[in-house]
Structure 1
Amino acid sequence: MAVDQQEVPGSTPSGATAARRSPTRRRAWVVLALLVCLMLVNYADKVVVGLAGVGMKEELDLDDSQFGVIQSSFYWLFAVGCVLGGWLGGKLPARWLLAGIAAVWALSLAPMTAQVGFTTIVACRVLLGLAEGPTTALAMQVAHSWFPAHKRAIPSSIVVAGAGIGPLIAAPILTWVILTYSWHAAFGVLAVVGAVVAVLWVIGGDSGPEAASGGHGTAANAPALPDHVPLRRLFSTGTLIGMAVLFFVAYANTSVKVSWLPLYLREGLGYDATTAGNLVALPYLGSAVAVILVGVVSAVMTRRGITNRITRGVLPGALVLTSGVCTIAFSSMDRGAPQMLLLALGSCLNSAGYGVAFAGLADVIPAKQRGTVFGIVTGVYSLGGIVAPLVIGTLVSSSESVAVGYGDGFLVLGVTTMIGAAVALLVVHPDRDAARLAAKS
């Protein structure tokens, strides 16, 4: 059953129904803010091991390969969590599902506050990855349930911006906690923050009015999607194939920088702990700004009649392609401001298109299937988070020097990123694929 237009944030109500619109719109932005908080904690949890890496390696006498296993272990069950969470997203209220997930984050971080061994660390990271796996997909599903299709680019980008804000805030604060107290204390701080965010979500978070709606086009004259499309047909579209590939290489790029960037700055380039902590924050600052800016640009282009093929397909693909070029370039440069500029720029461009890319995915997925499909896509691209940290760890430990190992690793990462982005540029076409799915309904 279609949702009344006046109940959809951003629509144009009439007469007596106008009073109903403002509370719904305000609630939409409150929920969006809570989703940003969830994403913030989600990515702070990811970056903490990289920040604590030097202390962990010294205390537990870990080599680079073992540390690579710790970083990679976060993603071992990440894909399982993505698919399971996406499936549950269509069956359980978002209020309780996301709160439960955040509570598991806190529980998985708590043991790290005490003296632990290699096996315990790996087990805790596996549990954390399982719980954090579905977060992005569920956050997007909830965000899209509060906004009509043609207005999702900016909200999607704001949710993704939380991924950049998390490390931006966490890096300097957690670095100070580690240097002042210990790396164990940093995990304790995150456990407490995760528990607080879980409580806040229970109080104010939930799905919106569009969660109960059927398929919606991206504009008034766009074809309406059927209520249900077989997954085989959905995943045979160029848009889902191309976006999965694009997300895979982009997430591999992101996971390497989350996992290894703090150690690269300290061990590979020789920066001290405080400087490295501050430098780590720069790419995330740029990413948080860039992802919102790209969302606004995409929304403006859509309002001016530019097709979703360009605004939600070509745009994110071109950004990731350029990010790959930047990654290749900084991998061969010496330490200094130009290298840091390219590193930060590459990270910004890599993340900037996530929000509009998710909006492009939503264009070809029926509303009731978004949780499941987002979960599967997230599970597929999370495999990049398993492979990339392991490859970097192997190259660093097997190279003639740490610096050479990091350089080779980022070179491989840049080339892979460019190839994946090129594939997406060729095959992603939301308008065409949505029309074909609607015609077969």
Structure 2
Amino acid sequence: MSAVASPRRTAKTSNPRRIRWIFVALLVIGGIVNYLDRSTLSIGNSTIAEEFDLSATQMGLLLSAFSWPYAIANLPAGYLVDKFGAKKMFAFASGAWSLVGMVTAAANSFGLLYALRVALGVAESPFFTAGLKVNERWFSAKERAFPIALVNTGSQIANALAPPLLTFLLLTMSWRGMFIVVGALGIIVMLIWLRIYRDPTLREEHILKGDDSADASADEIAEQLDEATTAEADTVVEGAEKVGWGTLFTKPNTYFMIIGAFGIFYTVWVYLTWLPSYIETDLGFSLQETGWLAALPFLMGVLGVLTGGWFSGVLIRRGSPAIVARKVPIVGGAVLAAASVFPTAYLDNVPLIIALLSLGYFFSQVPIGCLWTLASDVAPSEQVASLGAIQNFGGFIGAALAPVVTGWLVDTTGNFNSVFLVGAILLIVGAISYGFFVKDRSREAH
């Protein structure tokens, strides 16, 4: 046996329960920057449309240019995260999306803007699957609902920050300067991630699981590491086969999770892409006022994600099966979001409309963290990121359609009334799909 210690053997193993929360914090920060990057076009909607002389339908196409490639790229992204690990794939993603964002500042035509938004969608696709993989490695099934929900708050914090922050950058630096500043933040995130993140060592895995072997001597740990390394070498071919995601498409749960995510994400992305424009054009507020008003629903979204993760954890501690504990917030949140959004189509009271839209976004975010946790409950460990990515693929088909359909409806009807009706209907579709058709099928015959 070589006297040189392996990297795994010399890695720090102290306080794994503390260090994992540092990684969660990094993912939250990454999520904030990630969604600020996505939000730049939504905030610059009216300004960019005026500069390039775009109709609402054309702007809808541009706003959806991110989501189509993002949805499709999620399929290989999940596989790549399972294969190469969260550290490499998150670093690649954050570096790539930041560069694309900064290059967008130089766009001088609709076609180039569209192409760069497509590239942005591909670049950002590994982010949430990498976050799911990190949580799967560092938290047990009973613990991970809250940290996954916490990671998802990053996007909601960004959505709340984006209207006032990006509007300020837009007004002081132009929309091009806004893109450059947000892109630079992503480069910083990438460098910090590469410096700090690592997967747990074997001993840390024992400690996190609460095994007695966590107190083993250094020699015993070294022996376990050697055995684990040998076992890994013997099963490389078998492990590589398991990582593939093709078999997931033979499972009924996969399809119903796709449909369910489609219904919920559709309405979420109506908010993300058209809310500032709706407040400015339909409700009659100035650009500066819109920046602050548009933040209200997204602040509620932060609370919504945390509420969903917290409530799921409560159900787990009270003895509910894991899948049930995820489905209750998912279904309940979608139904209540639909009930909040639907009346806005028939109201003229502006404060009440803002209140209902804020409530609707709160409830639409209650399911989000639980959707990702559900993927980790349903899939085998080696396919967690893959199933999460496939589900996200379904969600972002809805996200891609939402801006286009919204733009077409606004051009056709002259208002947003039918937009919210369609969103409410699809939220109910999502609730039904998760509530009645996603089940624990682990005992079914293969």
Q: TM-score, normalised by structure 1?
A: 0.86
Say yes or no: does 1:246 pair with 2:257: no
Q: Could you say which residue in structure 1 is the equivalent of 2:79?
A: 87
How big is the shift at 1:173?
Answer: 1.0
| 1:420 matched to 2:433 | no
The residue matched to 1:433 in structure 2 has which SS?
coil
Partner of 2:89: 97
Return the letter of the residue paired with 1:383.
I
Measured after TM superposition, the shift of residue 408 of structure 1 is 1.1
Letter in 2 for 1:294: G
The question of 1:392 aligning with 2:406 is answered: yes
SS of residue in 1 equivalent to 2:22:
helix
Q: How far off is 1:279 after superposition?
A: 1.5
Q: Which amino acid aligns with 2:18?
A: R
Partner residue in 2 for 1:341:
355
The RMSD of aligned alpha carbons is: 2.5
Matching residue within 280, 296, 302 for 2:310: 296
Q: How many residues align?
A: 404
**1:354 maps to which residue?**
368
Superposed CA deviations along residues 56-113 of structure 1, whole A, max 9, x for unmatched, are 0111111111111110111221123211211211222322211111111111111232
Partner Cα separation in structure 2 for residue 93 and residue 246 of structure 1 = 27
1:236-294: CA deviation from partner (whole Å, max 9, x where unpaired): 54543333222111111111111111101111111111221112111121111221122
- Where do residues 110-129 of structure 1 align in structure 2 (5 Å cutoff)? 110-114=102-106, 116-129=108-121
Give the structure 1 partner of residue 38 of structure 2.
46
* Cα distance in 1 between the residues matched to 2:272 and 2:94: 20
Matched, 1:25 2:35: no
Say which SS state the counterpart of residue 84 (structure 2) adopts: coil
Q: Secondary structure at the match of 1:151?
A: coil
Partner residue, 1:61: 53
Which of 306, 314, 317 is the matching residue for 2:320? Answer: 306
- Equivalent pair of 1:325/1:418 in contact (CA under 8 Å): no
For residue 280 of structure 2, the aligned residue among 266, 287, 291 is 266
Q: TM-score, normalised by structure 2?
A: 0.85
Q: Does the 8 Å CA contact 1:46/1:259 hold for their aligned counterparts?
A: no
Unpaired runs of 5+ in structure 2? 1-11, 210-237
Deviates more, 1:110-119 or 1:291-300: 110-119
Unpaired stretches in structure 1, ≥5 consecutive residues: 1-19, 218-225
Residue 163 (structure 1) aligned to one of 155, 169, 176: 155
Aligned counterpart for 1:277 among listed residues 291, 297, 307? 291
Give the match for residue 408 of structure 1.
Answer: 418
Q: Does 1:36 align with 2:28?
A: yes
Listed as ranges, the matches of 1:80-229 within 5 Å are: 80-114=72-106, 116-208=108-200, 228=242
Tell me how far apart the structure 1 counterparts of residues 244 and 441 of structure 2 sit (CA, whole Å). 14
Distance 1:195 1:283 in 2: 29
2:393 to 358, 375, 379: 379
Distance in 2 of aligned mates of 1:315 and 1:103: 34
Q: How does 1:321-340 map to 2 (within 5 A)?
A: 321-340=335-354
Amino acid at match of 2:185: V
1:148 is displaced (CA, Å) by 0.6
8 Å contact kept, 1:246–1:317: no
Q: Is the 8 Å Cα contact of residues 83 and 372 (structure 1) preserved in structure 2?
A: yes
Cα distance in 1 for residues equivalent to 2:302 and 2:32: 11
Does 2:325 match 1:317?
A: no
Whether contact under 8 Å (1:322, 1:418) holds in the other structure is no
Structure possessing the higher radius of gyration over alpha carbons: 2
For residues 433 and 267 of structure 1, do their structure 2 counterparts lie closer, same or farther at Cα, with a shift above 3 Å needed?
A: same
Q: Which amino acid aligns with 1:394?
A: W
Q: 1:22 to 1:280 in 2, by over 3 A?
A: farther
The one-letter code of the counterpart of 2:390 is: I
CA distance in structure 2 between the partners assigned to 1:148 and 1:100 by the alignment: 27
Partner of 1:257: 271
Q: Which residue of 1 aligns with 2:442?
A: 434
Of 255-264 and 237-246, the range deviating more from structure 2 = 237-246
Query: Per-residue displacement from partner, 1:155-210 (whole Å, max 9, x unpaired)?
Result: 11101111101121222111111112211111111111111111111111233459
User: For the structure 1 residues 233 and 313, does the alpha-carbon distance in structure 2 shift closer, same or farther, using more than 3 Å as the test?
Assistant: farther
Contact 2:335 2:427 survives alignment (8 Å): yes
User: CA offsets, 1:412-441, max 9 Å, x none?
Assistant: 111121122122211122xx32343xx75x
* Match in the other structure for 2:227: none
Distance 1:209 1:398 in 2: 58
Tell me, in whole angstroms, the C-alpha distance in 1 between the residues paired with 2:161 and 2:174: 18
Q: CA distance change for structure 1 residues 363 and 93 in 2, over 3 Å: closer, same or farther?
A: closer
Distance 2:316 2:330 in 1: 14
Structure 1 stretches of at least 4 aligned residues deviating more than 6 Å after TM superposition: none
1:138-169 deviation line (CA, Å, top 9, x unaligned): 21121221101111110111011111011212
CA distance in 1, matches of 2:70, 2:371: 21
For residues 171 and 348 of structure 1, the distance between their equivalents in structure 2, rounded to whole angstroms, comes to 17
C-alpha distance after superposition, 1:324-347 (max 9, x if no partner): 121211232224221111101111
